[in-house]
Structure 1
Amino acid sequence: METYKDHITLSPDMNEERLNKLRELFPDWFTQEGHLDINEVKKVVNPNGVEETERYEFRWFGKSAAKRNAFTPTRATLHYDEKRSVNAETTENIIIEGENLEVLKVLTSCYRNKVKCIYIDPPYNTGEDRVYKDNYYESKEQYWERSEYGTNIDTNSNTEGRYHSSWLDLMYSRLLIARNLLKEDGVIFISIDDHEIHHLHKLCDEIFFEENFVANIVWQKRTSPDARCNLGPAHDYILVYAKNIEKLKPTLNKVELTEERASEYKNPDNDPRGNWASVDITGQTGHATESQFYTITTPTGIEYTPPIGRCWALSKETFNDLVKDNRIWFGVDGTSRPRKKIFLSEVDGANAWTWWTNKEVGHNQEAAKELKEMLGAADIFDNPKPTRLLSKIFEIATKENDIILDFFAGSGTTGHSVTKLNHQQLAHRKYILVQIPEFTDKKSPAYKAGYKTISEITIARNKAVVEKYQKASEGKILDEEDKQQLNQLGFKVFTLLKSSFPRTDFTPDPTKNEEENLALFQEYIKEKERQLTIAFNEEELITEILIKQGFMLTYKLEKQSRFTQNTVYWATDGEKEAYITVDANLNDETVEYFMQHTDKKFICIERALDTTKKFNLKEKMQEKFYAF
């Protein structure tokens, strides 16, 4: 059934989608009018009518409102910023300037189930750090006015009484949407300190489910303790959750052995195959077979059976083969419990563990130095992360063509790290960075260096990274892979702005049904959208419509010369494709072409067609035709 929502560039309505899913699974829970009958749900939850007044749950003041805010569609859109983009014709990287909750909602249209890895470094809740205030709906006009020049971020004062609640509101709504962007084998890494680690763990248990908890990494962020404290904090955490842990596990990569880990390999028996390390050969009994329970006799005659509750991980036949190949170690004197030898020459890497030292992945001072080298000024961003830290995350969690998202982009370390890792591995990972245009303090080094907003720092750093790699390639003979690496450098910049279509301001009458509201809407747009004939930006309209149609922001447009009476483009993002025009009037010749060629999707503006043309195109093209 057609409704007014079909003609508005809203992001997907997550509440409506969830209700539709319930309606598919449990139609008896709904009334004849299509409304959820909560009493029917209660009968299933508690069939005996026994009320359960106490249960374990994680709640705070504002949680329900934060959840509603997450699943309420946005009326915002993204506009392409050509002037600030770098190498836009060939790159697939994206930087988005805008409030990240609204941006995430927009991205749901085109990146749902497409992101392999999310890394975020959200504001730490220390009582002084700033937190985002979700006032888009409370003060929409002021938001748009501020967004042109930057926006102020509220502080989360310890005396506010909502010290933890405000921070949880911030994280809850954003993580709820972020989960929908992850692929089924996707993973999220979240940097955090001691102030909110326990709350964040509970939050992620609820959103991603406890069984999808992967690890809590401890990162040694300092080279020495903070002298200002009796017990100086020298570490942060990185909390890791999968969307589906069983699908994630096979996709995780090993990391290169560090010198410290490699030094653990010795050769006490002078094996000609070189240095080796020994590993346990017992396993859990959950799926063990009878062949995994037997007695092993050492060369000195000592007998060993598996410890209580465990079995041998190898069958007796496999074990005997390893003994013949001198791959079982019984200790120097031949009396020890047997272990398997793993040779350094055969190791293609190591499984990552949860203790990351600053020698291995860098520290705060290194990160500050990297940023200064890129932008030529010191102290322009507080506590950036080192690229070695993020590169290790992406090395473990992603393959060469994956998409990586950071919606608290800050100084832009994620983009820098992805580019650096791509060049090291000759890979083609893509990044999407989102940063609100938060004002820098006028007394700060950032402002004095010319950066009025944090998002300007994000863009400037990644532009400097591009220039660094381009300069390094000058004068060199480049092979095809080198050329591809240079082509993928750069990023397209988009800004979060109000829709180009006045129709997005339409508010339905709650006292009327869908059919009546559709009629009201049609009258509304007849009047309002006459404004579009005065002045509008063609590319902005195309971007907005393509996002609505699920095209990724890496779409390409190619003008079609066969159309002489209208400007028609061929749009493709590698997955979706369509012809599109935003001309105010559609010529008969153009209409006739699409009446005869119905194999490709065609998108136009509804007001470009009279009733007859619209009916004929719909009749001929069916789902291949979309009039916005």
Structure 2
Amino acid sequence: MDDVNTDFSAWMRTQNDFSGGERAYNKIDENGDVYRPVSMAWPNKKKAPADYFIPLIHPVTGKPCPVPKRGWRNPSATMEQMMKEGSILFGEDESTIPNSKYLLKNNMYENIPSLLYYGGSDTELLSQMEIPFDTPKVVSICQEHIASFTETDDIIFDFFSGSATTAHAVMQLNAEDGGHRKFIMVQLPEKTEEQSEAHKAGFDTICDIGEERILRAGKKIKEETGADIDYGFRCFTVDSSNMKDVYYRPNDIDQLTLEDYTDNIKEDRTPEDLLIQVMLDLGVLLSAKIEEKEIAGKKVFSVQDGYLIACFDDEVTDEVVTAIAKKKPFYAVFRDSSIADDSVAANFEQIFATYSPQTVRKVL
């Protein structure tokens, strides 16, 4: 096999029409399969979990082989399966770190090579912004992709936002070309490790890191470019409904528990929580302009310049209802338990019929 591999490797080096990736497959095993050795070292800067540091036993000497400094690429169960399949390449003895065997027949089709010849991360940029995060995506590369594949009014969605590099890139691009792109970042609230720099800096979750990064990126871009763009954003957390079960399943409530549902809204929910639910129910964009106003001593939300007006305060009077009706919103929303008394409830429809009959009225 040594002579075969020597001849085959020499032949591969003469094939100028092959790409570098193709010439890398310059070995042949005892089954006649063409392959190339690939490192099994953990690829990230952050150290791998303990399960990724279990040494492999050399099949001839029976002694443990060295483990890469940051651990293996795969957990121990995967490594055991690779051993059974003969997918691990050992050296002559245990002194060499093993590699994995990539068979050409299993890798006949590869992704198109990137047109952007750049690798690495924006660690230095985030360090300057005092945002601790391992291997962040590169803002300039994200920005170039966004510029290539989107229009200036598009919404860019990132389901694995991490440190929110995509949001940073969107704002940077808008500042440079005057676009009005919006971004939606989605990230699980993964906890930061207690010994990590992020945790020490006060970031409990990756979401906290992303939120702070967007704030600092917006400030940085504004200082550097002076661009008059929208730097604002809102943070939302996926949660259960604001409404108690009686709101959706009244048939399941019996007489003994009825008093628990005199208010059909969960006790820990804020007026802002209710407003977001209403906006979602009515199809109003969560990016819509929201203003807080005071009418007759009550806090009132005006969404999209009065398109939707909502009041969830207690003791709502005829005066409040009348003032809202006179503004002629498309939607007017109140909380059922907030109506001051039966008189206000009786007058509610008549007030709107008088001042704004076209308004769609809803009560939670």
TM-score normalised by length of structure 2: 0.57
- 2:235 is matched with 493
- 2:127 is matched with 372
Give the one of 328, 333, 336 matched to 1:606.
336
User: Does the 8 Å contact 1:591/1:613 carry over to 2?
Assistant: no
Alignment CA distance shift 1:596-1:230 (3 Å) = closer
Separation in 2, partners of 1:441, 1:542? 35
- Corresponding position: 1:462 with 2:214: yes
Separation in 2, partners of 1:577, 1:432? 23
Give the one of 585, 590, 612 matched to 2:315.
585
User: Does the 8 Å contact 2:139/2:166 carry over to 1?
Assistant: yes
Larger radius of gyration: 2
- 2:156 is matched with 404
Show the 5 A alignment for 1:185-224.
none
Structure 1 position 601, deviation (Å): 1.9
Residue 192 of structure 2 aligns to which amino acid in structure 1? T
User: Does the 8 Å contact 2:321/2:348 carry over to 1?
Assistant: no
- Corresponding position: 1:517 with 2:251: yes
Show the 5 A alignment for 1:405-554.
405-472=157-224, 482=227, 484-485=228-229, 488-501=230-243, 503-504=244-245, 508=249, 517=251, 520=253, 527-530=260-263, 537-554=270-287
Separation in 2, partners of 1:543, 1:238? 45
Structure 1 position 608, deviation (Å): 3.0
User: Does the 8 Å contact 2:161/2:187 carry over to 1?
Assistant: yes
User: Does the 8 Å contact 2:121/2:136 carry over to 1?
Assistant: no
Separation in 1, partners of 2:304, 2:168? 27
Structure 1 position 582, deviation (Å): 0.7
Show the 5 A alignment for 1:337-348.
none
> CA-to-partner distance for each residue in 1:546-584, whole Å, 9 max, x for gaps?
2332222223333456x42643332118xx921211122
> CA-to-partner distance for each residue in 1:424-444, whole Å, 9 max, x for gaps?
222221112122221122344
Residue 626 of structure 1 aligns to which amino acid in structure 2? K
Residue 304 of structure 2 aligns to which amino acid in structure 1? T
Residue 235 of structure 2 aligns to which amino acid in structure 1? V
User: Does the 8 Å contact 2:158/2:166 carry over to 1?
Assistant: yes
User: Does the 8 Å contact 2:309/2:324 carry over to 1?
Assistant: no
Structure 1 position 410, deviation (Å): 0.9
**Structure 2 spans left out of the alignment, 5+ residues:** 1-43, 50-73, 82-97, 103-108
Separation in 1, partners of 2:258, 2:334? 16
Alignment CA distance shift 1:372-1:569 (3 Å) = closer
Residue 546 of structure 1 aligns to which amino acid in structure 2? M
Structure 1 position 602, deviation (Å): 1.1
Structure 1 position 522, deviation (Å): 11
> CA-to-partner distance for each residue in 1:491-528, whole Å, 9 max, x for gaps?
33333344444x157673xxxxxxx739x599977633
Structure 1 position 603, deviation (Å): 1.0
- 1:394 is matched with 146
Give the one of 297, 301, 308 matched to 1:569.
301
Separation in 2, partners of 1:618, 1:458? 44
Residue 410 of structure 1 aligns to which amino acid in structure 2? G
Separation in 2, partners of 1:500, 1:406? 27
Alignment CA distance shift 1:418-1:521 (3 Å) = farther
Show the 5 A alignment for 1:152-231.
159=77
Structure 1 position 395, deviation (Å): 1.1
Show the 5 A alignment for 1:278-317.
none
Separation in 2, partners of 1:540, 1:158? 45
The sequence identity of aligned pairs, in percent, is 23
Alignment CA distance shift 1:623-1:589 (3 Å) = closer
Alignment CA distance shift 1:535-1:459 (3 Å) = closer
> CA-to-partner distance for each residue in 1:90-113, whole Å, 9 max, x for gaps?
xxxxxxxxxxxxxxxxxxxxxxxx
Separation in 2, partners of 1:458, 1:442? 18
> CA-to-partner distance for each residue in 1:21-46, whole Å, 9 max, x for gaps?
xxxxxxxxxxxxxxxxxxxxxxxxxx
Q: How big is the alpha-carbon RMSD for the aligned residues of Structure 1 and Structure 2?
A: 4.3
- For residue 417 of structure 1, give the secondary structure of its aligned residue in structure 2: helix
Alignment CA distance shift 1:550-1:229 (3 Å) = same
Residue 273 of structure 2 aligns to which amino acid in structure 1? E
Residue 433 of structure 1 aligns to which amino acid in structure 2? M
- 2:7 is matched with none
Separation in 2, partners of 1:523, 1:591? 34
User: Does the 8 Å contact 1:566/1:583 carry over to 2?
Assistant: yes
Separation in 2, partners of 1:358, 1:492? 32
Separation in 1, partners of 2:156, 2:302? 27
Separation in 2, partners of 1:159, 1:437? 27
- For residue 355 of structure 1, give the secondary structure of its aligned residue in structure 2: coil
Which structure's relative contact order is higher, taking Cα pairs within 8 Å and 6+ residues apart?
Answer: 1
- 1:307 is matched with none
Separation in 2, partners of 1:369, 1:355? 26
TM-score normalised by length of structure 1: 0.36
> CA-to-partner distance for each residue in 1:513-546, whole Å, 9 max, x for gaps?
xxx739x599977633549798863333323322
- For residue 220 of structure 2, give the secondary structure of its aligned residue in structure 1: helix
**Structure 1 spans left out of the alignment, 5+ residues:** 1-123, 130-155, 164-226, 232-236, 240-353, 509-515
Residue 188 of structure 2 aligns to which amino acid in structure 1? I
User: Does the 8 Å contact 1:386/1:413 carry over to 2?
Assistant: yes
Separation in 1, partners of 2:298, 2:202? 44
Separation in 2, partners of 1:450, 1:595? 46
Separation in 2, partners of 1:420, 1:453? 25
- For residue 236 of structure 2, give the secondary structure of its aligned residue in structure 1: strand
How many residue pairs align between the two structures? 264
- For residue 251 of structure 2, give the secondary structure of its aligned residue in structure 1: helix
Alignment CA distance shift 1:455-1:567 (3 Å) = closer
Separation in 2, partners of 1:535, 1:613? 30
Separation in 1, partners of 2:129, 2:358? 53
- 1:355 is matched with 113
